[in-house]
Structure 1
Amino acid sequence: MNITLLKQLNGKLKAFAIVLLLGATTLACQENKELKEETNTVEASATEATAVVDKRPAPEFFVVPAEMAQKRVWICENNTADIFHVKHDCPVLIECKGKGTFRNMTLARAIEDYDRYNCQTCAKDLDFIYDEDAVRMETGLGQQ
């Protein structure tokens, strides 16, 4: 009688172990599926963001006044950014956090070496740098 009881208990333990193993496998598969869906969503968002913002070609014309040539500006160095910022706390520049690296350089270098345009949030007043029709008293640095 003892052996029969042990065989029944052993059979029930095996059945319980199989049910437990199937439950754990099912749970792991569901978590993996949720992780894949979340990863796909993040990748799609990143692709959309990249597709929306295309880097413009280098400025064809610009004139940096001599008194502004050494002015310091900030850039976000990544594959899509093409603007410089005059304020380090510009909301557009802050969006770069985690997506690129920050660099501080002279205005002339930002335009000449990094092909940057002025930010319309913090540097809108510098639009004249790229205006071919603007009247200038003296020639600054730039392409003509």
Structure 2
Amino acid sequence: MFKKTLAGMCGLLISLAACQSPDNAQTEQTDAQESTAIADTTKREPRPKPEYYSFKGLEKKRVYICMDPSEDTFHQKHDCPVLISCASTFRNLTLPRAVEAFGRYNCETCSADLAYVFDENAVRMETGLQGQ
């Protein structure tokens, strides 16, 4: 009796597994391809290196950057959603190096409070270039 029940249950499990629709897997794969295509089309050319910036008091501030050539922002938080979506690796470095060596701007999601670093008027007043 036990062998018949066991054999029946095995047969039932095998038939259930065989009845799984391959269309589900294909639909999921198609969805993944579409989202990848959308992500690829949103890539843009990075902005040119900032001309005006001042790091007064922020010389040792550490930030993160994505090493993808199409990226042009730095991030204060390692778990920033924009940084997490980075398709490449990311690095932790000082703010001055991120801007001067890599031409990065502040991320509007996690570093909006550092936008003043690029304020042209503040940089001019600090360097004494008001009349130029």
The alignment status of 1:56 with 2:46, answered yes or no, reads: yes
Q: Report the more deviating stretch, 35-44 or 54-63.
A: 35-44
The alignment status of 1:90 with 2:96, answered yes or no, reads: no
Q: CA RMSD in A?
A: 2.7
Asked if 2 retains the 8 angstrom alpha-carbon contact of 1:75 and 1:84, the reply is yes
Distance 1:80 1:138, change over 3 A: same
The alignment status of 1:111 with 2:99, answered yes or no, reads: yes
Distance 1:60 1:81, change over 3 A: closer
Q: Deviations over 1:48-90 (max 9, x none)?
A: 2122131322234231223212211001111332110111222
User: CA offset at residue 135 of structure 1?
Assistant: 6.3
Match for residue 117 of structure 2 among 129, 140, 144: 129
The alignment status of 1:69 with 2:45, answered yes or no, reads: no
Gaps of 5+ in 2: 1-21, 128-132
2:126 is matched with which residue? Answer: 138
User: CA offset at residue 134 of structure 1?
Assistant: 3.0
- Secondary structure of the structure 2 residue equivalent to 1:104: strand
Asked if 1 retains the 8 angstrom alpha-carbon contact of 2:50 and 2:105, the reply is no
Aligned-partner Cα distance in 1 for 2:84–2:96: 22
Count of residues paired in the alignment? 108
Asked if 2 retains the 8 angstrom alpha-carbon contact of 1:50 and 1:80, the reply is no
Q: What amino acid is aligned across from residue 56 of structure 1 in structure 2?
A: P
Give the fraction of aligned pairs with identical amino acids, expressed as a percent. 43
Q: What amino acid is aligned across from residue 120 of structure 1 in structure 2?
A: E
User: CA offset at residue 93 of structure 1?
Assistant: 1.6
Q: What amino acid is aligned across from residue 72 of structure 2 in structure 1?
A: D
Distance 1:45 1:80, change over 3 A: farther
2:17 is matched with which residue? Answer: none
TM-score (norm 2): 0.63
Q: Which has the larger radius of gyration?
A: 1
Aligned-partner Cα distance in 1 for 2:76–2:47: 21
Asked if 1 retains the 8 angstrom alpha-carbon contact of 2:54 and 2:123, the reply is no
Q: Which has the higher strand share?
A: 1
Choose between structure 1 and 2 for higher RCO, CA contacts under 8 A separated by at least 6 residues.
Answer: 1
